[in-house]
Structure 1
Amino acid sequence: MTAKRRTLTMRPHKLPFRRRLTRASVALIYRHSEDGGVELLFIRRARREGDPWSGDMAFPGGRMQPEDATPRAAAERETFEETGVDLIRHGRFQARLSDLITRHHSRWRPMVVTPYVYEWQGTQAISPNYEVEQAVWISLDYLAAKENQSRLPWRTPMGTVNMPCCRYQDYCIWGLSYSMVQELLALDVIRN
């Protein structure tokens, strides 16, 4: 494969109609651990009545607001609000991953989610707000290992679907978060 072709295949997929839909964005934040490995930050969403993803593992982020100049700015703002992690001051932007489509929490209307990858270069502790039950760093090697991949039975009106997932301790990473991790691992965008 030529260098030009490899670059083309690594470009993120941008949904052509994304500007006409509600937009959200998330931050995939990694850091280098003391043992020389790489860890990725996940949050466990707080449990709330009526939230279909209540208690799920996710990345910090949320919907764009009118004051957000770009989806990336929304990811930075939401990350700071949810975790206290200041990506503007202590994060190094690495890459934009592909748009994903989901739905609003309480509605069936589609929403486009855009993931952004950052290297964390700060030293501050994470201070989750009311939207976050817990924050956890998980080794990228662990997330990539085949023996940690599993299936999650997910009930739908059409029947049960076995969704791919990664299990870590009592956490289960699945859905959009799992898709984002898989793209991150496939593209190898993390820099030393």
Structure 2
Amino acid sequence: MTKRTTAKYKIDRRMGENIWGRAKSPVNKREYGPGQHGQRRKNKLSDFGTQLRAKQKLKGYYGDLTEKQFKKIYGEAARVKGDTGEMLIGLLERRLDAVVYRAKFVPTIFAARQFVNHGHVTVNGKRVNIASYRVKEGDVIAVRDRSKQLAIVLEAVASAERDVPDYLEVDHSKLTATFVRTPGLGDVPYAVQMEPNLVVEYYAKN
């Protein structure tokens, strides 16, 4: 396992929330943080703490992106005219690993990153192995023929744990997905509440 693959359980426990809505999340059994001090009573968070937590949760959800990666995406969102929080969500959902995860080609966002990096995915017929590759409306994302019988793919497609959002058109018989449109916050099927407005406040003050 990679460091980030094993980190998904730590992220859930650190946040105290099952952020991906997975049945195996340790938060389903215990809602306190990891480590010997995890059960201490939580103090009320300051405004800064609330904003930082919102940033950590959103950053962690997309495969525990590095601060440099996440801040770069935020910077792009801030430069576009419109609601920065909504733009941020749209840019995150246009990442190729996010699309592969949303299409249910693999079970987790961590697996999606590895799946893309190992060359199992094409965009408009061309192999792309960069997880942060940004898809555009109308792009067709597909699992390569030689990868369609991988156990991780078959298990993900058969899973009833989550649904495919309507901004993707997915054909699981062919293992293809068309990115129909860039979603807003209300379109994204997060298992817990995400607050990109607090992320915007965090970066505006820091």
Same fold (TM over 0.5): no
Q: Which of 1 and 2 has greater Rg? A: 2
Give the structure with the larger strand fraction: 1
Q: Which has the higher helix share?
A: 2
* TM-score of the two chains, using structure 2 as the length reference: 0.26
